[in-house]
Structures are given as structure tokens and as C-alpha cells.
A = this chain, B = another copy of it.
Amino acid sequence: MPSMILPALAALALPAPQADDADLRVAQLRDAALEDDYAYAITEAITTELGPRLAGTAEEARARKWAVTTLTRMGFKNVRDEPFPLKTWVRGVERAMVVGENSQPLVLTALGNSGATPAAGLTGEVVFFPTLDDLKDAPDGSLAGKIAFVSHAMTRTQDGSQYGYYGAVRRQGPAIAAAKGAAAILIRSVGTDSHRMPHAGSTVFPEGTAPIPAAALAVPDADQLERLVGRGAPVRVALTLTPRIVGTQNSGNVVAEVPGRDPAAGIVVVACHLDSWDLGTGAIDDASGCGIVAAAAKRIMDAGRPRRTIRVLWAGSEEVGVFGGKAYFDAHKGDNHVLAAESDFGADRIWRLDTNFAPANKPLADRLAAALAPLGISAGRDPAGGGADVSALVSAGVAGVDLQQDGTRYFDLHHTPDDTLDKVDPAQMRQNVAAWTAMLAVVADAPEAISATK
């Protein structure tokens, strides 16, 4: 290097040995995490020993107890279950049958918060709507006594972004059909597979709208019902759904910490949700997320005390309305959070990094991107939202990081009976752990303050 430019470089070069040490340490932690076994072991245990963990049920309570024991054994500090009350909905019988000349069963599942049919079921003529907009256009009262069938079809994307638009049929469709007097509503599952696997998920009936029976047909069954309707003759379906509210039960968030060296440097919270839908064992949604964030936090912990406290949040009741995230925000909004992130999109590889950092944190964003690049991850342009359980924090101004997972096959499995351990690819899961470990190594030890963009 020519000596004449040494003075100019000197100011920049001075911290370089330290920076290089930090970068090297991040790289070593990252690469060691490519051999991680913690995340898969946690996911295996949650799905095998606990199984389905519907929010508010005894199964979720058992899972929280297991989580406190496990995270304590792993060496985390301040491990606790933070309970909160939850009006708890549970599934009952679910059965549907085309009646008449083409009589045959259909595979479906009740949506969360669905109303119930009489125990003996109800029978109604099917009124077909290709899309949610078509349902919205139906005249008021036109569905009295009828079963609305909305066959809004989602397609496959890597970023899963269609869930927003196409998921509306599940979230809002039942309330719209109820307002128009429908006796019940069937929707095409919000999913990208073609298996006899209905996709569960919550729907919302606003105050004042009495819940009607609402269910998702498996995709092949929605195809079948479309074909039968297409024959031209009226199609009648006999439907029995007997879900019920079992009163107010306890749900809860499990929290564990890696205490930081510098209490004033604030808290980095990494989240997942421990509850799951009841049809599968919640492997990709979201035992794997809990395995990934806990594994990464443990790897940082075992490498020496970080500057900032890392708080692991295994939220409860995410699936039924992000009640765990809300409870966490209410209880902890006064804590000194500096960054929030969540793993809740399966266990397939991370391909993109999004942040919402203030411009002053560009050097931090650059170090983060550099640390992740060797894993095949590049920076995207979406502002990070943090993920469901920490979105309230991010909305309130906490910086967020989104480590975007490949969602190509996520909605094949999402909320179905098929969400089981065999769907988790250990190699891709390790790439996740490496990315989360690198991210935590960068942000938990970053010397600068971390702020979100305004």
C-alpha cells in the first residue's frame, strides 16, 4: 500500500483490527451453527412429545410447562411462563356431504371462531362465488338459508405474499356471508397444495355479527364442488360442524433470557410461537421457529456474554389472534427493546434480509448483510415488520429484522394435518440457525445504538 495515503486511511484503519476481530467472531459463530443440532432436537421434541398445541387447551399448557423446563435446562436465565386469559374455541365434529344424485362426502375443517350447526347438521343449497369480491357483490338477504361457497384460489410464491390477499377469504368471508344471511359458508382452503388436507385458520366475526358455521374445504374438494356446481343443477350440502367455546382458559408466553453485559444497551427479542393449530403437530408452524431462535440464542450464550440481553419469546395464542404478542406488548412495552425479530414461516432456507433501520444504522445493516451473504442471503427492499408476535413492538418504533424464509412450499402445509416433523429439512434448518446466530452476533454486540427509521 503506497505510504502517501496512510494518513488518510489511518483514521478509518484504526478500529479495523477490532472490527475484523468482530467480523471473524461472527463468521466463526455462523459457520459453527451450520452444524447445529439444537434446533432440530427442539422441533423433534415439541412435535413428538407434545403434538398439537391449540391455544388455551391443556395441550398448550403442557407445552408451556415443557418449554420452561427445556429452556431452563439449556442454561437460559429468567425463564418463566407469563399467563394470560383466553376465550378458547375448540373443534367438534366436522362432516359434509353432497346430498342427492351425486351424494358423496367432502373433506373440510371448521375455521377458528366458526359457529356451530345443530348437532344433526343443516342442509342448504350451495351458492357459488369464484372470488371474495363476488361474495361481496351478492345482494343483501340473497343468501338466506343458503350455503355460500367461495373458491378464491391462492397460488405459490417464494415470499408467501399472496397470503395477504387470498387469506382475506378466510379472515373476512364468513362475516360477509353472515351479514348477507347465509346459513353457513364453505371456502376453498387458503393453500397451494392439491391434497385432501383442509387448511384451518381463524376467521373473525365482528361484535354484533353472530358466528355462522364456517369451514375450509380441502383444495381437491373445492375443485370437486366447483365441478358439481358447474353441472348446472342445484347442489345441496349437508353440513355438521360442532365447534364450541369452552370458556376462558389460560394461555401464556414463555420467556427466557441471555443476560447482557450492559443493561443500558437494551434488549434484543427473538420470537416464535409455541401454540399450533390442532390438526397437525405444528412442525413448520411453528415448532421449527422456536427451535431456530432458541438454538441461535444458546449458541451466542455459550460463546460468552453478549453486550445486549437477548430475550427469547415463545409466544402463546398466535394462531387464534396474536393474543400472546399483544399480552407481551402490554406487559413489556416499557422494557428497553432495541430490536425485534421472529421466525414463523417454516424451516426452509433464508434467502432475504429486510430491516427497518434508521439511516444512521446503515453501517450496521451493511455488517449484517455481509455476515449473511455467505449463506446465500441478500438484502431486500421491504421494510421489516418483525413478525406477528413482535409486530406491536415494531409498530411502536422498535427496530426490526426479517430473516425471510423460502415459502415456496409453506402454504402446501400451513395449518393442515400435514404439518408434521417429516416436512422439516434438517439442512435448511441449520442454514436458518446460522443466519439467526450471525444476526444475533452482529446486533447483540454492536457498539452503536440501534434505531428504527421514522
The chain B residue with its CB closest to the CB of A423 is B194
- CB-CB under 8 A from A51, the residues of chain B are 98, 102-105
Cβ-based interface call for A248 (8 A): no
Q: How far is B196's CA from A417's CA once the two chains are assembled, in angstroms? A: 6
Cβ-based interface call for A49 (8 A): yes
Q: How far is B416's CA from A7's CA once the two chains are assembled, in angstroms? A: 74
A420 touches B197 (CB 8 A): no
A288, chain B: closest CB distance, angstroms: 15
Q: How far is B197's CA from A195's CA once the two chains are assembled, in angstroms? A: 9
B48 touches A196 (CB 8 A): no
Residues 279-332 of A at the B interface (beta carbon under 8 Å): 280-281
- CB-CB under 8 A from A105, the residues of chain B are 51-52
Q: How far is B58's CA from A104's CA once the two chains are assembled, in angstroms? A: 11
Q: How far is B224's CA from A60's CA once the two chains are assembled, in angstroms? A: 19
Partner of A52, one of B104, B195, B220, B418: B104
A418 touches B196 (CB 8 A): yes
The chain B residue with its CB closest to the CB of A283 is B220
A197 touches B196 (CB 8 A): yes
For the complex of A and B, the 7 pairs showing the least CB-CB separation, nearest first, are A51-B104, A196-B417, A220-B420, A48-B227, A194-B422, A196-B418, A49-B102
B196 touches A420 (CB 8 A): yes
A65, chain B: closest CB distance, angstroms: 11
Q: How far is B253's CA from A159's CA once the two chains are assembled, in angstroms? A: 51
Per-position 1/0 for A24-57, Cβ under 8 A of B: 0000000000000000000010011111100000
A225, chain B: closest CB distance, angstroms: 10
A60, chain B: closest CB distance, angstroms: 13
Copies of this protein in the complex: 2
A231, chain B: closest CB distance, angstroms: 8
The chain B residue with its CB closest to the CB of A104 is B51
Q: How far is B421's CA from A94's CA once the two chains are assembled, in angstroms? A: 23
A48 touches B228 (CB 8 A): yes
- CB-CB under 8 A from A98, the residues of chain B are 51
Cβ-based interface call for A107 (8 A): yes
Residues 417-449 of A at the B interface (beta carbon under 8 Å): 417-418, 420-423
Cβ-based interface call for A223 (8 A): yes
Q: How far is B104's CA from A49's CA once the two chains are assembled, in angstroms? A: 9
The chain B residue with its CB closest to the CB of A220 is B420
Known: A48-B224, A228-B48. A107 touches B421 (CB 8 A): no
Residues 215-269 of A at the B interface (beta carbon under 8 Å): 219-220, 223-224, 227-228, 231
A51, chain B: closest CB distance, angstroms: 3
A195 touches B418 (CB 8 A): yes
- Chain A residues in the interface with B (C-beta under 8 A): 44, 47-52, 59, 98, 101-105, 107, 194-197, 219-220, 223-224, 227-228, 231, 280-281, 416-418, 420-423
B223 touches A107 (CB 8 A): no
B224 touches A281 (CB 8 A): yes
The chain B residue with its CB closest to the CB of A420 is B220
The chain B residue with its CB closest to the CB of A47 is B224
The chain B residue with its CB closest to the CB of A98 is B51
B281 touches A104 (CB 8 A): yes
Known: A51-B102, A196-B420, A227-B421. 7 other contacts (CB 8 A): A44-B227, A48-B102, A48-B228, A51-B103, A52-B104, A194-B422, A196-B418
Q: How far is B224's CA from A423's CA once the two chains are assembled, in angstroms? A: 13
Q: How far is B50's CA from A55's CA once the two chains are assembled, in angstroms? A: 39
- CB-CB under 8 A from A194, the residues of chain B are 422-423
The chain B residue with its CB closest to the CB of A102 is B49
A300, chain B: closest CB distance, angstroms: 29
- CB-CB under 8 A from A422, the residues of chain B are 194, 219-220, 223
Partner of A196, one of B50, B227, B231, B280: B280
A334, chain B: closest CB distance, angstroms: 39
Q: How far is B52's CA from A220's CA once the two chains are assembled, in angstroms? A: 14
A210, chain B: closest CB distance, angstroms: 30
A243, chain B: closest CB distance, angstroms: 16
Q: List 12 A-B contacts (CB under 8 A).
A: A44-B227, A49-B228, A50-B102, A51-B98, A52-B104, A196-B197, A196-B416, A219-B422, A220-B421, A223-B421, A224-B281, A224-B420
